[in-house]
Structure 1
Amino acid sequence: MVTGDNMAASRSSSVLRENMSEDEGRNGTATLDVFPGTVRQKIVLQRLIVIGRLPHDVADRTELGDHYERLNFQLSKQHIWDHVTGLLLIYPACVLHVIESSRDVLLSVLKDLRDTQLQTDGSLLETAKVVSMAHVPHSRMFQQWSYKVLDADHVAGAPVKKGFEEEEESTETLVCSLMSALQNLGKHLRTSQKTLPGSVLDGAPELVVSQDVLGKLLSRDELPSPQLHLQMYDSPLNISMGFGQMNRSSCLTTV
Structure 2
Amino acid sequence: MADALRSQLEAGPRDSLLDVILNRVQKSGKTVLTTRIVYVARLAQRQNSSDSVRALLSRVIEKHSSVDGEITGFLLVYPLCYIHVIEGKTPQLMAVLREVLSHGADIRLGETRVVSSCEDVPGRHFNGWYVAYNPSGTTVEHMDPLDAFGAVKGATDINTFLRKAGPELLAPTDHETRRKLSNVDALLEDVPAQELVLSLTPTEDAPTVAEYLDIFDAPVNVDLESEQVWPMQPPLKY
Shorter-chain TM-score tier: 0.5 to 0.7
> Which residue among 173, 185, 194 is the counterpart of 2:153?
173
Whole-Å separation in 2 of the counterparts to 1:202 and 1:133: 25
Indicate the SS of the match to 1:95.
strand
Segment drifting more, 170-179 vs 92-101: 170-179
Q: How far did residue 60 of structure 1 move? A: 5.7
Name the aligned partner's letter for residue 141 of structure 1.
H
Let me know the Cα RMSD of the aligned residues. 3.4
Indicate the SS of the match to 1:170.
helix
> Which residue among 55, 60, 65 is the counterpart of 1:76?
65
Name the aligned partner's letter for residue 165 of structure 2.
L
CA contact 2:75–2:132 (8 Å) conserved in 1: yes
- Size of the alignment, in residue pairs? 187
Structure 2, unmatched stretches of 5+, are 1-27, 139-145, 227-238
Q: How far did residue 130 of structure 1 move? A: 1.0
Alpha carbons of 1:193 and 1:94: their partners in 2 closer, same or farther (altered >3 Å)? same
| Residues 209-220 of structure 1 mapped to structure 2, 5 A cutoff | 209-220=192-203
Q: How far did residue 126 of structure 1 move? A: 1.4
Alpha carbons of 1:187 and 1:136: their partners in 2 closer, same or farther (altered >3 Å)? farther
Name the aligned partner's letter for residue 130 of structure 2.
S
CA contact 1:51–1:95 (8 Å) conserved in 2: yes
Deviation per CA, 1:143-164, whole angstroms, max 9, x where unpaired?
10021122247x8xxxxxxxxx
- Specify which structure has the higher proportion of strand: 1
| Residues 101-112 of structure 1 mapped to structure 2, 5 A cutoff | 101-112=88-99
Q: How far did residue 48 of structure 1 move? A: 1.0
Indicate the SS of the match to 2:123.
coil
Regions of 4+ moved over 3 Å: 57-61, 166-169, 186-190, 192-197, 237-242
Whole-Å separation in 2 of the counterparts to 1:239 and 1:169: 34
Name which one, 1 or 2, has greater alpha-carbon Rg. Answer: 2
Indicate the SS of the match to 1:207.
coil
CA contact 2:77–2:133 (8 Å) conserved in 1: yes
For normalisation by structure 1, the TM-score amounts to 0.62
Aligned pair 1:148/2:132, yes or no?
Answer: yes
Structure 1, unmatched stretches of 5+, are 1-28, 32-41, 156-165, 243-255
2:114 equivalent in structure 1: 130
Name the aligned partner's letter for residue 223 of structure 1.
A
Aligned pair 1:116/2:103, yes or no?
Answer: yes
| Residues 39-54 of structure 1 mapped to structure 2, 5 A cutoff | 42-54=31-43
2:21 equivalent in structure 1: none
Task: Give % identity.
Answer: 20
Q: How far did residue 113 of structure 1 move? A: 1.5
For normalisation by structure 2, the TM-score amounts to 0.66
Alpha carbons of 1:200 and 1:224: their partners in 2 closer, same or farther (altered >3 Å)? same
Aligned pair 1:85/2:72, yes or no?
Answer: yes
Q: How far did residue 104 of structure 1 move? A: 1.0
Whole-Å separation in 1 of the counterparts to 2:122 and 2:166: 12
Deviation per CA, 1:89-136, whole angstroms, max 9, x where unpaired?
00111100011111011001110112124x4xx444112111122125
